[in-house]
Amino acid sequence: MRRPALRVAALAGAAAATLALGLAAPAQATNAAKPGPRVPAGPYVALGDSFSAGSGVLPLSATANPLCAQSAVNYPHLIAQRTGRALKDVTCGGADTSDFYTAQYPGTPAQLNAVTTDARLLTIGIGGNDSSLFTGLIQNCLTAGLSTLGQGSPCKDKYGSTYTTTITTKTYPAVKKAIADAKAKAPKATIVVPGYPQVLPPTKGCYLAMPIASGDVPYVNGIEQALNAAVKQAALDSGATFVDMWAPSAGRDACQLPWVRWVEPAIGSLQFVPIHPNAAGERAYADQIMAKVGL
C-alpha cells in the first residue's frame, strides 16, 4: 500500500518529470580490517528496504512481489550465491520498519514473518524510509534546488534541523526495536545491519544530474550521516554488527561517471529506479558485509 523504492521522489519544475527513488569496481576493504567470527552454516534471511532489495537493478527476482522491485542480483542474492546458503529474501522497495510487522502489499507478509529460529544469518537494511525521511529529503531538496537554479542553500534554510530531529526521535527507536524483535525470533543468528552509501560528493554537487543547490550538498550529506549514525547505534544497542557503507563509497556517489559510481543520479540514471545503488553498488554491499563478518 506504499511507494516503490528508499521510495518515490518528484523532480518538480518545468524541467523535470516524476521520478521513483534507488557500480563498477570492487569495493574497498574498509570493513575488512577487523572481521568478526565466521557465521555458522545455516539459513539466511534478508530484511530491508530498496537499497537492500536492489530496486532498479535488473533482472527482477522471480519470487518477490513485482511491486517490491527486488533484484535477482541484490546483495542478499549475491551473498547466498557466494556462500551456498539457503536464502529467504523479503526485502522490498519502499519498506520502513512498520513493514516488519504488517503487510506492505496484499500478498506481501510482514517481513519479520520470514525470520525463524533456525536462521543463522540475518541482514537488516532499514531506516531511511521511516517518517518518509529519505523521500522527503530528496524531493524537498530537489524542488528547492530547482527553484534557485542551484544557488544558495534553500533546503537547509527551509528545513533546518527537522530531519535530524526526526532521525533522533523516531528513526533510531524504530530501527532499534525492529532489530531487537528480529533477534528475539532468531537468537542464534548473526545479525548484520548495513548503513547507506554516499549519494552526493562531500561538498560540490552536480546540478545537471542531481539538481540540489550547491549550498545544500553538505546539508544533505550531514543528514545522511546522521541517519547512518542512528542506524549504527541501533545495531550496537541490539547486539548486531553494523557495516559502514559511507567510507567505502567515497568517490562512488551519483555525481561520478557511470563506470565509477555505485549510486545512480536523478537525471541520467542507467536504471529504472534512480538515486539508488546500481549493480556495482549491490556488489559492494555484498563485499563489505562478507568481509565484516568473515563469510
pLDDT digits (tens, 9 = 90+) for 198-255: 999 999 999 999 999 999 999 999 999 999 999 999 999 999 999 999 999 999 999 9
E strands in the chain: 8-10, 18-20, 44-48, 87-89, 121-125, 190-194, 241-243
In angstroms, the CA 9 to CA 24 distance is 25
pLDDT value at position 9? 35
Correct CATH for 8-22+36-241+267-293 of 3.50.50.60, 3.40.50.2300, 3.40.50.1110, 3.40.50.300: 3.40.50.1110
Q: Which amino acid, 82?
A: R
pLDDT value at position 8? 33
Identify whether the C-beta of residue 271 lies closer than 8 Å to the C-beta of residue 58: yes
pLDDT value at position 40? 85
Active site residue 50: yes
Asked whether residue 10 carries a pLDDT value surpassing 90, the answer given is no
Q: How confident is the model at residue 39 (pLDDT cuts 50, 70, 90)?
A: confident
Q: Check 55, 77, 153, 276 and give the catalytic one.
A: 276
In angstroms, the CA 192 to CA 178 distance is 13
Q: Check 50, 52, 249, 269 and give the catalytic one.
A: 50
The strands making up 44-48's β-sheet, listed across from edge to edge, are 87-89, 44-48, 121-125, 190-194, 241-243
SS3 277: strand
pLDDT value at position 52? 98
In angstroms, the CA 277 to CA 259 distance is 13
For residue 62 the three cell numbers come to 522471480
DSSP state of 213: -
For residue 110 the three cell numbers come to 510482514
Does the pTM surpass 0.85? The reply is yes
Q: Say which residues have a Cβ less than 8 Å from residue 106's Cβ, sequence separation at least 6.
A: none
Q: What are phi and psi of 153, to 5 degrees?
A: -135, 60
In angstroms, the CA 200 to CA 79 distance is 27
Active site residue 276: yes
pLDDT value at position 4? 43
In angstroms, the CA 15 to CA 234 distance is 40
Residue ranges per structural domain of the chain:
8-22+36-241+267-293
